[in-house]
Structure 1
Amino acid sequence: MKTVLIDGLKINSKEKLHEVFRTELNFPDYYGNNLDALFDVLSTDIEMPINLIFENTKYCKQYLGEYLDSTIEVLKNVSTYYPNDFIVTIN
Structure 2
Amino acid sequence: MTTFLGTHSEPDDHIAQLRWLGHDVRIVSGGDDKAGVLDAFATDLELPDWFGRNWDALVDALRDLDAPRGVPIELVWDHAAALRERDRDAFDTVVEILEQVADERDDLLITVVTR
TM range (shorter): 0.7 to 0.9
**Matched letter for residue 41 of structure 2:** F
1:42 pairs with 2:62: yes
Gaps of 5+ in 2: 1-22
Cα deviation for residue 54 of structure 1 reads 1.5
- Would you say how many aligned residue pairs link Structure 1 and Structure 2? 87
**TM-score, normalising length from structure 1?**
0.83
Q: Based on CA coordinates, which of the two structures has the bigger radius of gyration? A: 2
Q: Does 1:61 align with 2:81?
A: no
**Hey, what does 2:74 align to over in structure 1?**
51
What is the DSSP-based 3-state SS (H/G/I as helix, E as strand, rest coil) of the residue aligned with 1:27? coil
Q: Matched residues in 2 for 1:56 and 1:27: separation? A: 19
Secondary structure of 1:79's partner?
A: helix
Alpha-carbon RMSD across the aligned residues, in angstroms, is 1.5
- For residues 13 and 59 of structure 1, the distance between their equivalents in structure 2, rounded to whole angstroms, comes to 8
* CA deviation after TM superposition for structure 1 residue 68, in Å: 1.1
Q: CA deviation at 1:65?
A: 2.0
1:32-83 CA distance string (max 9 Å, x none)? 1111111111112x21242111233222212332011011100011111113
Instruction: For 1:61 and 1:6, locate their aligned partners in 2 and report how far apart those are by CA, in whole Å.
Output: 15
- Residue 4 of structure 1 aligns with which residue? 26
Report the structure, 1 or 2, having the larger helix content.
Answer: 1
Shifted more, 31-40 versus 47-56: the winner is 47-56
Matched, 1:77 2:105: no
